[in-house]
Homo-oligomer: A and B are copies of this chain.
């Protein structure tokens, strides 16, 4: 597949001086089924990985942010990657990545670690969609965005900036990510607001007023903690 990194990994130096490409919101960077000739790294903006069924049902697999890597697949892309906001990416031929990973064992290790993190994210999503209620899923989603922002800004977990959550994607996008309908996402935001967990200055922002409460709802100690879900039955 294609997907996201999260930290500055050693292998990312293949993108130094790489050609840049600008995308408008809505533009497709990668089409499902296309040959995976290039790999990308995000410089600015938000993108999303989507998979669309024969009958039109769409699942958003992941949202991607600056410094996230795109290109986790063997020879063909199985999923599409689309710009959510205007964005800039840098690209390199896949072969450049591959020879880098072959030559430098350290880079190979870092790359593998990134793939593991992507796999973790995917499993987090499986757990969310499979086990949590609508409100819980939206709560987890906000914590997920908060954590991404924390990584992008490279700040402490208690940094005040993190309480203001940017929501560049539409309600429909969120719904397709969480396995809900857009109306349900909207109602869930309203509920979190009414319960005092969040407030909503405008449609593309949410402010976390009660982090502990959100985390409790999500059944999570800390989104980036090693034992996220806990292990007792």
Number of copies: 2
Give the complex CA separation of A113 and B1 in angstroms.
10
Nearest B residue to A130 by beta-carbon distance? Answer: B179
The answer to whether B233 touches A52, judged by C-beta atoms less than 8 angstroms apart, is: yes
The answer to whether A32 touches B119, judged by C-beta atoms less than 8 angstroms apart, is: no
Residues on B with C-beta less than 8 A from A176 are 130
Residues on B with C-beta less than 8 A from A79 are 123
The answer to whether B131 touches A229, judged by C-beta atoms less than 8 angstroms apart, is: no
Question: Residue A78 at the B interface, CB < 8 A?
Answer: yes
Give the complex CA separation of A126 and B118 in angstroms.
13
The answer to whether B1 touches A127, judged by C-beta atoms less than 8 angstroms apart, is: no
Question: Residue A55 at the B interface, CB < 8 A?
Answer: yes
Interface size class of A (residues with CB under 8 A): 35 or more
| CB proximity of A124 to chain B, nearest CB, Å | 9
| CB proximity of A120 to chain B, nearest CB, Å | 6
| CB proximity of A175 to chain B, nearest CB, Å | 10
Question: Residue A228 at the B interface, CB < 8 A?
Answer: yes
Question: Which candidate, A68-76, A162-170, A195-203, is the interface stretch facing chain B?
Answer: A68-76
| CB proximity of A212 to chain B, nearest CB, Å | 14
| CB proximity of A132 to chain B, nearest CB, Å | 8
Question: Residue A19 at the B interface, CB < 8 A?
Answer: no
The answer, among B112, B131, B179, for a CB contact under 8 Å with A115, is: B112
The answer to whether B129 touches A78, judged by C-beta atoms less than 8 angstroms apart, is: no
Question: Residue A219 at the B interface, CB < 8 A?
Answer: yes
Which A residues lie at the B interface, using CB under 8 A? 1, 3, 31-33, 51-59, 61, 72-74, 76, 78-80, 101-102, 105, 108-109, 111-113, 115-116, 118-120, 122-123, 125-127, 129-132, 176, 178-179, 219, 226-233
A sample of 7 cross-chain residue pairs with beta-carbon separation below 8 angstroms, ordered by A number, consists of A54-B219, A72-B119, A80-B231, A102-B105, A111-B112, A125-B126, A130-B176
Leading 9 A-B pairs by shortest Cβ distance: A130-B179, A32-B231, A54-B230, A122-B122, A57-B131, A102-B105, A59-B127, A129-B129, A53-B229
